Amino acid sequence: MAAATMPSLPQVVSRRDRDGGLRHGLPVAPQERFLKTDEAAAPAKRLRTGGVGDVGPRAAVVMPEKKEKRLVLVLDLDHTLLHTTPALRLAPGEAYLLRRPPPPLGQRTLFDLRETHGILTKLRPFVRTFLREAGAMYDLRICTKGNSAYAHRMTRLLDPEGSHFSPGDIVAREDFREKDKKSLDVVPGGDERVVVILDDTVDVWENHLDNLVRVRPYGYFAFHGRPGEKSFAEARLDEEEAAGALAKSLDLLRRAHEMFLDLGAGGDVREVLRCLREKPELRAPRHCS
Ligand SMILES: [Mg+2]
């Protein structure tokens, strides 16, 4: 991996959330400036057929038709599954994180990547349970505005065994056709009828809002926190596990999956999501009209 130097300091930008809430000013995330490495030089491979981005000989392979139409869950990384900050931006009250002996690898949720990338990354509480349980119902993809090197590194932190993601499941900003706009056109298997998107940011998905489930943004470090409030790290706290945002999202995804299966062949998950938005208490689509 190439030697890393600290990227230049981020700029503060403001974004308006289409849900009606004004998001606090978020600095440009370090992952959007993540340094190129050998890893980044390889474009995301498309290992499945059906994605618009299919390239190479595999794209010509005709796969046998699946008996059951599988749902696809497209996951954002930053502020959805994890939080990354430049190490140089740690608040004084967060410096203790660098002095603590790390727990055994399997139990680790905070990763000190200063030597290679100049960053620290904290996984969101409940994320591994979330991936395991969501992965049983959905085919999982990553779609991030971070670059390819960052996306692959973060995916390895989330899924060290490679149980949930293969390289072809990862879409990074080099794959985007339009700057700062995410699109299912470049997501393998990105058929709008079967895709649910989980992201903390709405405006990047303006062409696929019917597929979007917004999750409350996760911020662990002060750098992306709200002015005047202590970060989770400073307060030595964290988001709840079992009652946190990912657990709530998983509950909705379970219901969406169940309702989609009830629709049978030809079902469209956008209809299911519309139902769940309007009547979140529903358990079956037949009550939803
Ligand atoms: Mg995000």
Terminal Cα distance for the chain, rounded: 54
Checking if the pLDDT of 49 tops 90, the result is no
Q: How far is the CA of 281 from the centre of ligand 1 (A)?
A: 27
Answer yes or no: are the C-beta atoms of 78 and 90 closer than 8 Å: no
Q: How far is the CA of 80 from the centre of ligand 1 (A)?
A: 5
Q: How far is the CA of 202 from the centre of ligand 1 (A)?
A: 9
> Which residue in 76, 133, 143 sits closest to 250, CA to CA?
133
Mean pLDDT of the chain: 81
Q: How far is the CA of 181 from the centre of ligand 1 (A)?
A: 12
Q: How far is the CA of 265 from the centre of ligand 1 (A)?
A: 32
Q: How far is the CA of 94 from the centre of ligand 1 (A)?
A: 22
H or E stretch including 246?
A: helix 245-263
Q: Give the up-direction half-sphere exposure of residue 181: CA atoms within 13 A in the CB hemisphere.
A: 10
Domain ranges of the chain: 27-54+68-192+216-240
Would you state the pLDDT for residue 44?
Answer: 39
Checking if the pLDDT of 211 tops 60, the result is yes
Q: What is the largest CA-CA distance in the chain?
A: 57
Would you state the pLDDT for residue 56?
Answer: 40
Checking if the pLDDT of 14 tops 50, the result is no
User: What is the tens place of the pLDDT at every residue in 185-201?
Assistant: 999 999 999 999 999 99
Bridge partners of 141, per DSSP, are: 74
> Residue 41 and residue 22: Cα distance in Å, rounded?
36
User: What is the tens place of the pLDDT at every residue in 104-148?
Assistant: 888 899 999 999 999 999 999 999 999 999 999 999 999 999 999
pTM for the model: 0.77
Checking if the pLDDT of 57 tops 90, the result is no
- Alpha carbon of 252 to those of 22, 71, 121, 273: distances in Å? 24, 14, 27, 9
User: What is the tens place of the pLDDT at every residue in 263-273?
Assistant: 988 899 999 99
Q: How far is the CA of 52 from the centre of ligand 1 (A)?
A: 23
Answer yes or no: are the C-beta atoms of 276 and 256 closer than 8 Å: yes
**Residue 127: helix, strand or coil by DSSP?**
helix
Would you state the pLDDT for residue 80?
Answer: 98
Checking if the pLDDT of 8 tops 60, the result is no
Q: How far is the CA of 37 from the centre of ligand 1 (A)?
A: 22
Checking if the pLDDT of 26 tops 50, the result is no
User: What is the tens place of the pLDDT at every residue in 218-263?
Assistant: 999 997 767 788 999 999 999 999 899 999 999 999 999 999 999 9
Please tell me the CATH code under which domain 27-54+68-192+216-240 is placed: 3.40.50
- Alpha carbon of 139 to those of 50, 136, 165, 289: distances in Å? 13, 8, 9, 28
> Residue 273 and residue 260: Cα distance in Å, rounded?
9
Q: How far is the CA of 18 from the centre of ligand 1 (A)?
A: 14
Q: Where does residue 66 rank: exposed (0-12), middle (13-18), buried (19+ CB within 10 A)?
A: exposed
